C-alpha cells in the first residue's frame, strides 16, 4: 500500500496506521443507517452500503484513511414512535377526554440550564458544519482534486 493512495483503516496494521496518522492523513468516517427499510426490493443495509461505496470512491482518488462505516438505527414508520404519517389527519374520538399538554412554558424553559446547553450544542454543530463546508473545496484542491470548469 502506497502512502499516496487511500486505504481502509481496518486494513492497516497499528504501525502502518501510526505512520499515516503522524503524516497528517485525513480520516473519513462514512455514516449510514445500519438497518432501514427502502421497500421490498432493497436490503435493509442499503444506506450503509451507499456510505461504504462513497468512501471506497474517495480512497481510490485521495490519500485518505476511511474508518469503518458508522451505522445508526432508524425507526421504519411514524407509527412506531407514536406519530401519524405525513399528511394524515388526527382522528379524535369525541367520547375520549383530551389531555392538556404538559411541559414548560417558554419563560420557564429560558430559565433552565438544559435549554441553554442545547442552544450551545446546536450552535457548535452548525459552526462545525459550516466550517467544514467552507473549507472542503480548498482542502480537496490542495489534495489534487481538479475543480469543475
Domain residue ranges in the chain: 1-76, 104-149
* More confident position, 96 or 6: 6
Of residues 42, 28, 45, the one with CA closest to residue 143: 28
Q: How many CB atoms lie within 10 A of CB 28?
A: 18
pLDDT score of 3 more than 60: no
pLDDT band at 104 (very low <50, low <70, confident <90, very high): confident
Q: What is the dihedral of CA 110, 114, 120, 125, to 10 degrees?
A: -130
pLDDT the model gives residue 33: 77
pLDDT score of 144 more than 90: no
Backbone angle region of 20, left / alpha / beta, with phi > 0 → left and psi within -120 to 50 → alpha: alpha
Summarize pLDDT for 35-87 with one digit per residue, the tens.
777 777 888 888 888 889 999 999 998 889 999 988 776 666 666 666 776 66
Q: Percent helix, strand, coil in the chain (nearest 5)? A: 45, 10, 45
Summarize pLDDT for 12-25 with one digit per residue, the tens.
999 999 999 998 88
Cβ contacts of 149 within 8 Å, gap of 6 or more:
none
Within the chain, residue ranges assigned H as helices are 14-22, 46-61, 106-110, 113-142
Residue 26's DSSP bridge partners are 64
Mean pLDDT of 98-105: 73
pLDDT score of 124 more than 90: yes
DSSP state of 30: -
Amino acid at each position: 500500500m502506497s502512502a499516496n493512495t487511500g486505504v481502509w483503516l481496518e486494513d492497516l496494521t497499528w504501525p502502518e496506521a501510526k505512520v499515516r496518522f503522524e503524516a497528517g492523513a485525513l480520516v473519513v468516517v462514512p455514516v449510514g443507517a445500519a438497518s432501514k427499510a427502502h421497500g421490498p426490493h432493497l436490503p435493509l443495509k442499503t444506506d450503509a452500503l451507499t456510505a461504504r461505496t462513497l468512501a471506497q470512491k474517495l480512497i481510490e482518488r485521495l490519500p485518505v484513511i476511511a474508518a469503518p462505516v458508522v451505522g445508526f438505527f432508524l425507526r421504519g414508520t411514524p407509527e412506531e414512535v407514536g406519530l401519524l404519517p405525513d399528511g394524515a389527519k388526527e382522528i379524535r374520538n369525541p367520547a375520549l377526554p383530551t389531555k392538556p399538554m404538559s411541559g414548560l412554558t417558554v419563560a420557564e424553559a429560558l430559565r433552565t440550564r438544559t435549554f441553554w446547553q442545547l442552544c450551545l450544542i446546536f450552535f457548535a454543530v452548525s459552526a462545525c458544519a459550516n466550517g467544514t463546508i467552507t473549507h472542503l473545496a480548498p482542502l480537496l484542491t490542495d489534495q489534487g482534486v481538479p475543480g469543475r470548469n
